[in-house]
Amino acid sequence: MSISAYENQVAAKNNMKNVFPVRKPTRSDKIDYGKTGVYFITVCTEKKQKILSDVTGNCNLNEGDPQARHMPLQKVVLLPCGKIAEIQLLLLEKRFKNVSVKHYVVMPNHIHIILCIDNSNQNSEPENTTLTAVMCAFKSLTSKMCKKEYGIEKVFQRSFYDHVIRDRDDYEKHARYIYENPMKWFYDDLYVR
């Protein structure tokens, strides 16, 4: 039981108002995030701030325009906080011996990642590495460095979106999505001017 749930129970027994808001859990209770697995993750910046990168290149074509495939690809240019995020993302493989970053893209206000956690070899880590622990380390260290270097108080939104990759087709679909994300930035649900 979480601390806030416990405190809310105590408050209810004492005929008091709930002291903390009851939040919907962000992770599925049907998935063991401590098992070996491959995950597609999206981490968004606080209030969709465009502080991680710029997407440059030709963006005035409609997505369905047949000429679009002949145009140069959009290029992701990392901003200072985006560079910090990329470094911290790649350092996850050193911090967690059983974690590998397979694919990623740092977009202006979000990051997409395909991450593999291999808990099959119990000799490599004292306990199973969970997805939440890995993402907490990434977000915390990135935020700390961005605050120290650039005074940005809050880099990321609370939590992150995850999808458990089920098979090879699912993996390839999400890898392609990451690769194509800069090209489709101006059509993206997370696009902000």
Residue type present at position 40: F
Tokens representing residue 62 in the block: 């409609």
Highest mean pLDDT: which range of 58-67, 77-86, 116-125: 77-86
Amino acid letter at 37?
A: G
Supply the mean pLDDT for the chain. 82
Residue 153 token pair: 């108080």
88 neighbors 143 (Cβ within 8 angstroms): no
- Give the pLDDT band of residue 34 (cuts 50, 70, 90): low
Average pLDDT over residues 12-35: 55
Asked if pLDDT for residue 27 goes beyond 50, the answer is: no
pLDDT value of residue 193: 73
Query: pTM of this prediction?
Result: 0.75
Q: Which residues partner with 55 through β-bridges?
A: 76
Query: Could you report the per-residue pLDDT of 127-161, keeping only the tens digit for each?
Result: 678 999 999 999 999 999 999 999 998 999 998 99
The single residue listed with the structure tokens 């409609």 is 62
Domains and CATH numbers, the chain: 1-30 (no CATH), 31-187 (3.30.70.1290)
Q: Rounded to an integer, what distance in angstroms lies between the CA atom of residue 183 and that of residue 55?
A: 9
Instruction: Provide the Cα torsion 10, 16, 17, 21; round to 10°.
Output: -10
